[in-house]
Amino acid sequence: MKNKILKILKDSEDFISGEEMSKEFHMTRAAIWKYINMLKEDGYIIESIPRKGYRIMSFPDILTYEEVAEYLDTDFIGRNIYYFNSINSTNRKAKEIAFGEKEGTVIVAEQQEEGKGRLGRHWISPKGKGIWMSIILKPKVDPMKVAKITLLGAATVYKALSNMNIKSQIKWPNDVLIDGKKICGILTEMSAELNMINYVIMGIGINVNLDESDIPEELKDKATSIKIIEDKEIDRKELFANILNEFEKIYKDFIDKDSISEAIDICKANSALIGKDIRIIRGDEVRVGKALDINEEGHLVVEFDGGVVESIYSGEISIRGLEGYI
């Protein structure tokens, strides 16, 4: 009911009286007042004048469906959004509900208490300053192809930022950088049986409006936020919707045409690794080589000592530049 009252307030160009809403929703004016107060608690500034009614004066910076719907241009991605003020992990919640939800359902939170990245690393997720989201996917493809979805996510974030005139680079396979520092990480998890996928969860964490004080001292040389680099507040709702819009386009190519060519082109053209010397770390093993390319399977092509060229599957590896972070 709260969302219905919000919609009628948004649709009205002038004041709308409590009596009108009482008749519309078949409830008392006292009940209407209760829901108006709930909207105020959510951050909506609502003016109320006796004998005139209510009207919305300003909208909060929150990532609910009601606030991002006007930006969406999708058929199914993001058409069902579970919004949380605070949550342990959006990926964890997505896995809890995935079996009963339609493909494209999104879980988004203002704050994560136990957010994580690849290899179990902790992801700082301060309240109201980032985009902490997970998308439930149910592709009818071979489970061996699921790793490609991470590249789709990286290319999507790049395109969404580009739409807002923000330049970035992609550090294969799952990081997006600005000025050489990480602002986005992507974590893809899967549940499958033999050759059948139950679901895939693609988690995306983006440092949008974090301040310098939000970045731990030990990470300041590795991580940043869009706001810090751009020196201005970023519209989270616009960026959130941009990601959902762009992801649906690139994901449809993957499930309909078995193609990730656009994602590979984007990742190659805007790579932070290609042409550079890198260290590939898997457990205690460290190998040094030069990143040459990203092949059609989405693997990183690396030349090692002696001219040996290998394609590297993302798996449980970490990549570091010989100089600086990348």
Confidence of residue 239 (pLDDT cuts 50, 70, 90): very high
Question: Is a pLDDT exceeding 90 seen at residue 81?
Answer: yes
pLDDT score of 231: 96
Distance (Å, whole) CA 222 – CA 182: 6
The three state secondary structure string of the chain is: CHHHHHHHHHHCCCCECHHHHHHHHCCCHHHHHHHHHHHHHCCCEEEEECCCEEEEEECCCCCCHHHHHHHCCCCCCCCCEEEECCECCHHHHHHHHHHHCCCCCEEEECCECCCECHHHCECCCCCCCEEEEEEEECCCCCHHHCCHHHHHHHHHHHHHHHHCCCCCEEECCCEEEECCEEEEEEEEEEEEECCEEEEEEEEEEEECCCCHHHCCHHHCCCECCHHHHHCCCCCHHHHHHHHHHHHHHHHHHHHHHCCCHHHHHHHHHCECCCCCEEEEEECCEEEEEEEEEECCCCCEEEEEHHHCEEEECCCCCEEEECCCCC
Residue pLDDT, tens place only, 37-71: 999 988 899 999 998 999 999 889 999 999 999 99
CB atoms within 10 A of CB 73: 12
Distance (Å, whole) CA 199 – CA 136: 7
- Region 123-137: mean pLDDT is 91
* Amino acid in position 269: A
pLDDT score of 41: 87
Question: Is a pLDDT exceeding 90 seen at residue 126?
Answer: no
For the whole model, what pTM was predicted?
Answer: 0.89
Place of tokens 């006796």: 50
Q: For the chain, what is the mean pLDDT? A: 91
